[in-house]
Amino acid sequence: MSSSSSTTYSLPLATTFVLLMLYVSNAQLNTTFYSSTCPNVTTIVRSVVQQALQSDSRIGASLVRLHFHDCFVNGCDASILLDKGGSIQLSEKDAAPNTNSIRGFDVVDNIKTAVENSCPAVVSCADILALAAEASVSLSGSISWNVLLGRRDSLTANQAGANTSIPSPFEGLANITSKFSAVGLNTNDLVALSGAHTFGRAQCRTFSNRLYNFNGTGNPDPTLNSSYLTTLQQTCPQNGTTTALTNLDPTTPDSFDNSYFSNLQNNQGLLQSDQELFSTTGAATVSIVNSFSSNQSAFFQSFAQSMINMGNISPLVGSNGEIRLDCKKPNGG
């Protein structure tokens, strides 16, 4: 024992620090982070989300999307919530993937107010986004998971990163796969997380490129089911409004289930980025779509794990970042 102890003590200080940092990074988030400081946080978040769903059936999908768009830019640090002003010169809210599209900020503010009333200056906005996403899914279907907690909030936003890092509905599978890979997520994560499109809505502008002149061909996207195409063309006429909404899942639009994957098999994926998961010849995603379509519990299990994986992207922990008192601005203004 003494020899091993001497070895330990003779480790260079830098090596000891690196080992310590490795330990901290692997144990940085946990499910019991607020067990003594804010034990009811999960219940508080769920209650506000449940209330919001009563008047807005799409808010669950919107809150999941907020967490997703946050995590893909500088990690899960609530940078997406920061308004322009003060020290924030450019807001992620104004980035192309988010402007006039991302929503749910009022619900996040309501959650933050409720949490602050119970546990002042304890729970981060980044953790609220993760908890709200889980509550949104579990209240819309029969799937839940234990959310890892302990993230802190950023002091800055990254609008340029939001413009380049968030997957686009117009992108091909190779590009989207690369964007997932860049944040440490694999093909299974990509297909599972795409399954979040089993609820929520999309604006015509996110898929109208498929309806009339796909990739300059003068024809609709050939992977679109013909009767579904007709329905979509009625919702989104060629020179009509670009902001009209349609269901991402035409079969069970407000339920969190695996019908999204059956839709893909029937060429009823709404977005190009959806349908390419199934219609890209030879892609590794095809067999995963088939698996999730035939086995809902396999999808649920993968989705929960992939949400945890996504929530682990580059969190601020320890003394990094801060616990924002107002999710819309850093504490310094």
Cβ-Cβ contacts under 8 Å for 229 (sequence gap 6 or more) = 211, 220
**86 CB-side CA count, 13 A:** 11
Going from the C-alpha of 91 to that of each of 87, 98, 100, 329, the distances in angstroms are 10, 10, 13, 10
Torsion-angle region of residue 258: left (phi > 0), alpha (psi -120 to 50) or beta?
Answer: alpha
Residues 6+ apart with CB under 8 A from 239: none
Q: Catalytic residue among 46, 65, 67, 69, which?
A: 69
For residue 324, which of 169, 107, 127, 65 has the smallest C-alpha distance? 127
List CB contacts of 107: < 8 A, sequence separation 6 or more: 48, 49, 52, 59, 63, 132
Nearest to 80 by CA among 53, 47, 103: 103
Instruction: Decide if 197 is catalytic.
Output: no
Give catalytic residues, as residue numbers.
69
